[in-house]
Amino acid sequence: MEKTRSKTNEKKLGFWKWAIASVIFRLILIYFPQNLNLSSRPEVSTPVTSLRRLAEGYWLKQLSMSPYAGSMYHGSPLLLSVLGPLTAIKIEGQPNHLLCSLVSVIADFICALLIRATGRILQTARGLNLKFLGLDTMLEDIEIMPSGDIAALVYLWNPFTIFTCVGFNTSPVENLFVVLSLYGASAGIVPLAAFGWVIASHLSLYPVVLVIPVILLLGYCPDTPPRKLFLQRDLQKTGAEGSTKNHVQHRPLTNKPTEATFFWWRVILFFMWASIWIAYVLILCAISVKEYGGLPEMFKRTYGFILTVKDLSPNIGVLWYFFAEVFDFFRNFFLIVFHVNILFMILPLAIRLNHRPCFLAFVYLAISSMLKSYPSVGDSALYLGLMALFVNELAEMQFSFFLFCGYVGVSLLSPVMHNLWIWRGTGNANFYYATAMVYACFQIILVVESVNAMLNHDRKIRKLCTTTEG
Amino acid sequence: MAEDKPKPRPIIRIGLFLISHSLLVSVVCCTAGVLSLLLLPVLGKNTYISENALMPGSARPMLSNDDVSEGERFMNQILRFDTMNTGMEIPEMITAHIMDLGGEVSHHKFLPQFNKFHPLHFFLGPDAGTIPENYSCSSYGINTVGIIRAPRGDGKEAIVLVTPYNSLKITRAEALSLGIAYALFSLLAQVTWLSKDIVWLAADSRHGEYTAVASWLRDYHTASFGDLKHSEICAASNLSKMETMHNSFRHAGTMAAALVIKVTNRSTEFEKDALTIYAEASNGQMPNLDLINIVNYLAVHAQGYRVKVEKIWSLLNVWWLKSLGQLIEMLGKLAGSLNPQWNFGIPVSEYVECTATLASSLYNQALGVPTGPHGAFRDYQVDAITMEISPKFSSSLNNRQYEILLHVGRLVEGVVRSVNNLLEKFHQSFFLYLLTSPSRFVSVGVYMIAFALLVAPLPLVAASLFSDATKSNPDAEEDKSASKPASTLQPAPTFTSWKWLYAAKQVLVVHLWSAIVTLLPYFVDQIPDSSPTTKLSIWIVLSIITLLFLDSFSGSSFPSTIRSRDTEWILLKSVTVAATFIGLCLMSVINFATAEIGALFLVPMCLTAVPLRLDNKVNTLRALIRGACNVIFIFVGFPVTVFFVLKGALEGFDNMRFGDFWNWAESLWAWNSATYIYMCMVHLPCWVLCIQTLLHRF
């Protein structure tokens, strides 16, 4: 019965058709990259993610020099060993970096599939929860979007993702590991979640904050309405068992674990696995950078580079201009201020949204992509894809049209301003930085409005619960 | 939730207020926008030298009579080569003379570049062009480059003088410009104050002046020697021994400024010799205003020239412009009598002249095609202008060579001396401005107001339409559900706030189509032996076919579940208006003039578009007028009609052919003008979407 209903309500999207079309589209773009020259765009590749820098680091390593010499490469040594050989192989008559681009395409595709699987899990959880709350009659009237399919397609067809994929950088791989950890956590596969989290944090540092959503996902279950509702419901049911007999019988007790319990053992297991993976990664790194100063040097050149904002070349973030202007003796202070900004928001958000860990992960990713030191459109691609997982919940989001126009406008205006500043010389840095600030504002509005819409959705569910009981 | 709605924040309240009065606001803003555009000549400021280091005219000109007679002798020598065989005589002679003066010489050989269509050229900067397959050695153009190393400089900066001449058939005027450059060169080879190298480029304009300068600049900046291997083949055949000596490419430093010196035989109608300044480079870029200022300052005050910039002559006799000028003059006088500090009024004749100049400035910038060889410099961030000297009324060049040589030589010497004083590259003055006369300009801060007023209604109207469309349905639903007993479940609204996605999809499809239309000429152009008329017809037919195909492919835009087909067009219009707003704002950054002219067409067209059937249903006078306006705007808004109407208005309707539009569009894309992309990717889709709105079925 469950299945038939979901079939009638869900719309067919033709997922595979569109997914394969997107892959073909990417392959075509990879084959004609010379006109686009995306790999040198500041919006697409940053000092941390650029594959050209990785190729340089690999070259240095081949010459038995430290890959971090000359402040060119700032990524992980593991990535260097995996992707490095691919940058050096040149197939006759084919564009350079063809193999690396293929890796990006594959990473994007797998990432989309994982998003889709996560969406499925979230959707079944949602259906079960609503049913348990006695709101399943509501389901019959509403059109439910297959959020997994939509999110995967949004991720695949987002121009940001496509540009990132074609633009020779490591963002698709980093995004893949972030999504992998979220998938592992929501599916309850602890080792996978730990693996994804460790690798993603190792590659780009900022996913470290995802530890909270991952723990919540493992400890509780995927996103639910507020837990208080279940408690109330349980109390009522035990109180008035006779009157709601039919309801109780229909309730699939076995499917629903007792609410509000926290699976400590899974979390402990997660930490065990995470420490195993961390040890593993560190040992591998230590082996590969043994001759070049060892792990301290690696930490300094990768995480240190990210945290101290050494490279002030323009990007779409808000930090470069600020640190280019700030006096040197305030620099450390403001570095702390900016990074603590991300950390400040973690705890309040975790408390407020603890019943929706996946959504919490989206919010964290959006905030860190706004405040990180070298952001690129690849980060936006990731959180926009994850946002589409919540289409059903965010159906009433405000300003969606305004935000859409804003994103389109900024992403077109930013290259033009860059051109005006760098190539024509008629503009200056302020022109470009203005678009970066506008972009940050739109991201803030997006986060605020989506959180607002989610809380409103929860409020509505609570209201519906009380009305049905009355 | 509906009952305890919190009071919105003040900024949102202001927004809501503006949105609810969008009709009034948009009418007021549009009118104000057009009016402030007409007021721009009045608001123009007098130019001033912004960079103190320039100090124009602070030194006495050193160009002596000896130098001038040297130049005249040189010129007569050139004119003696009456019959040209190889086109090598003049370069050789220039080489010999420069060597005598102690300068360095090199020859730069180039082939004509065929302009290719690079839709993304704007973002990528100048690139190396392709060399045609079949060339012959005799088709080489040969630029002669002479360099004086500055005695007080470090060789890091240079000033470029360009004198284009046709090596196949040199005219007296071109010879005179070479003579001027030579006289200057002989002076500058001796002076002690030079701190920037002087580069004299005698550009061979047999393939066009622009091509010669552009190919030299490309090789100067890319240091690629693409032509060299071809020239080696030819070296044995037709270059003399002396030639091969000077084949290596010589560099000076980065260019601080460049002056293109041209002399024409056309005499002006004025009592003084005239100097016409051409400044517009590709995509409406202008050189720094200081460069124009010093040329203007020295020409007017030191040499007694009359300085002109281009103007649209046909505007000088337009009656409504004159009466507007009278009105402004009257208002200015009135204001002056009230408070002597308010002296904004300008005389009628000056107003009309300023307007004609402003219109020409706008037109040339909007076209995005450089007005002379100086345009090639701007691609490398070098400020450059073309100075065209024409002798005064009823005199020809023949008997006044000496005088012109002396005056122009001293003028250029003064400019070189000023630029020589610069410590940094030009940055002090404006890059974004419109000229209303050689000594008056409208800066970006002023002309942006006109544009901003014109486009301000677009986001407002988009927002108001959007809120109309989203409110109309769910309100009814919510009222119903509120009236229902609470026990029945209120169904969650089905994605009302995302309904615009369907309209966005439709707009996206049309924009996709426009991208295809933009690229089509590239393929149409490959068809051999076809007239512009057939090419244009093929282009139009193919475009229509693609549009129909894409329309049927994308299917019905709105799903049947959304029954409210009357809100459909409102959403469509809202998204169209938003897309147009983004496009216009983007274009105003790339090329302001295009955006301004485009906004004059697009804004009224977008804002008034309402389905004709709706007007038919209502059938009042207001609806009738609105419908008529819509049809007129749509008719006028089609790029082809715009072109023919403007061309007819400026040049007369007599000899107009259908294929002219193709030629025009081809010239735009050959010059990589952003105007072409604007026309195809902003203007055209907006026009199509407006038609779709007009023909909307309920």
- B149 to chain A nearest CA, in Å? 27
Question: So what's the pLDDT on residue B85?
Answer: 57
Average pLDDT in chain A: 84
Higher pLDDT, residue B593 or A31: B593
Residue B556 confidence class, pLDDT cut points 50, 70, 90: low
* B233 close contact with A: CB closer than 8 A: no
Residues B294, B428 contacting (CB under 8 angstroms): no
Tokens describing residue A348: 């309040």
Residue B319 confidence class, pLDDT cut points 50, 70, 90: confident
Question: So what's the pLDDT on residue A442?
Answer: 95
Contacts with A, B 592-631, CB within 8 Å:
none
- pLDDT at B86 exceeding the cut of 70: no
- B489 to chain A nearest CA, in Å? 7
- B661 to chain A nearest CA, in Å? 28
Question: So what's the pLDDT on residue A363?
Answer: 94
Please report, rounded to a whole number, the percentage of residues in chain B having pLDDT higher than 70.
84
Residue A409 confidence class, pLDDT cut points 50, 70, 90: very high
Residue B395 confidence class, pLDDT cut points 50, 70, 90: low
Question: So what's the pLDDT on residue A305?
Answer: 92
Question: So what's the pLDDT on residue B491?
Answer: 43
Give CA–CA dist B190/B695, Å, rounded: 75
- pLDDT at A440 exceeding the cut of 60: yes
**Is B110 in a helix, a strand, or coil?**
strand
* B430 close contact with A: CB closer than 8 A: no
Residue of B nearest to A11 (CA): B559
- pLDDT at A241 exceeding the cut of 70: no
Question: So what's the pLDDT on residue A12?
Answer: 58
Give the H or E element holding residue B420: helix B401-421
- Condensed to tens digits (0 to 9), the pLDDT of residues B35-51 reads 999 999 888 888 888 88
Closest C-alpha to B626, from B613, B609, B638: B609
Q: Using alpha carbons only, what angle is made at residue B275 by residues B270 and B279, rounded to the nearest 5 degrees?
A: 135
Once rounded to an integer, what is the mean pLDDT over residues A251-280?
75
Closest C-alpha to B402, from B65, B49, B27: B65
Closest C-alpha to B77, from B94, B102, B99, B100: B94
Give CA–CA dist A296/B569, Å, rounded: 63
Please report, rounded to a whole number, the percentage of residues in chain B having pLDDT higher than 90.
27
Q: Using alpha carbons only, what angle is made at residue A293 by residues A287 and A298, rounded to the nearest 5 degrees?
A: 75
Question: So what's the pLDDT on residue A161?
Answer: 93
* A448 close contact with B: CB closer than 8 A: no
Question: So what's the pLDDT on residue A252?
Answer: 41
Determine, for residues B561 and A37 on separate chains, whether the beta-carbon distance falls below 8 Å.
no
- Condensed to tens digits (0 to 9), the pLDDT of residues A72-120 reads 899 899 988 888 888 887 777 666 678 888 899 999 999 999 999 999 9
Once rounded to an integer, what is the mean pLDDT over residues A292-309?
89
Once rounded to an integer, what is the mean pLDDT over residues A130-139?
71
Average pLDDT in chain B: 82
Residues B250, B145 contacting (CB under 8 angstroms): yes
Closest C-alpha to B436, from B147, B90, B37: B37
| CB atoms inside a 10 Å sphere around CB A444 | 13
Give CA–CA dist A288/A412, Å, rounded: 41
| CB atoms inside a 10 Å sphere around CB A374 | 24
- Condensed to tens digits (0 to 9), the pLDDT of residues B507-525 reads 999 999 999 898 888 888 7
Q: What is the DSSP string of B601-653?
A: HHHHHHHH---HHHHHHH--HHHHHHHHHHHHHHHHHSHHHHHHHHHHHHH-S
Determine, for residues B490 and A464 on separate chains, whether the beta-carbon distance falls below 8 Å.
yes
Once rounded to an integer, what is the mean pLDDT over residues A151-155?
93
Question: So what's the pLDDT on residue A376?
Answer: 92
Question: So what's the pLDDT on residue B224?
Answer: 54
Single-letter amino acid, residue A331: R
Once rounded to an integer, what is the mean pLDDT over residues B186-201?
91
Enumerate helices (H) and strands (E) in chain A, giving the number of each. Answer: 22, 0
Question: So what's the pLDDT on residue A34?
Answer: 61
User: DSSP assignment, residue B558?
Assistant: S
Residues A41, A50 contacting (CB under 8 angstroms): no
Give CA–CA dist B656/B157, Å, rounded: 49
User: DSSP assignment, residue A420?
Assistant: I
Question: So what's the pLDDT on residue A242?
Answer: 43
**Burial zone of A252 (CB within 10 Å; 0-12 exposed, 13-18 middle, 19+ buried):** exposed
Region label for A309, one of left (φ > 0), alpha (ψ between -120 and 50) or beta (otherwise): left
Determine, for residues B491 and A142 on separate chains, whether the beta-carbon distance falls below 8 Å.
yes
- B378 to chain A nearest CA, in Å? 8
Give CA–CA dist B574/B611, Å, rounded: 13
Pairing of strands B141-148, B197-204: antiparallel
- A259 to chain B nearest CA, in Å? 25
Residue B129 confidence class, pLDDT cut points 50, 70, 90: very low
**Burial zone of B690 (CB within 10 Å; 0-12 exposed, 13-18 middle, 19+ buried):** buried
| CB atoms inside a 10 Å sphere around CB B35 | 12
- Condensed to tens digits (0 to 9), the pLDDT of residues A354-397 reads 888 999 999 999 999 988 899 999 999 999 999 999 988 888 88
Determine, for residues B487 and A460 on separate chains, whether the beta-carbon distance falls below 8 Å.
no
Question: So what's the pLDDT on residue B219?
Answer: 85
Question: So what's the pLDDT on residue B225?
Answer: 52
For residue A240, give every residue at least 6 positions away whose Cβ sits within 8 Å of its Cβ, in sequence order, or none: none
* B487 close contact with A: CB closer than 8 A: yes
Question: Is this prediction's ipTM beyond 0.90?
Answer: no
Question: So what's the pLDDT on residue A136?
Answer: 66
Measured between beta carbons, which residues in chain B are less than 8 angstroms from residue A408? Answer: 582
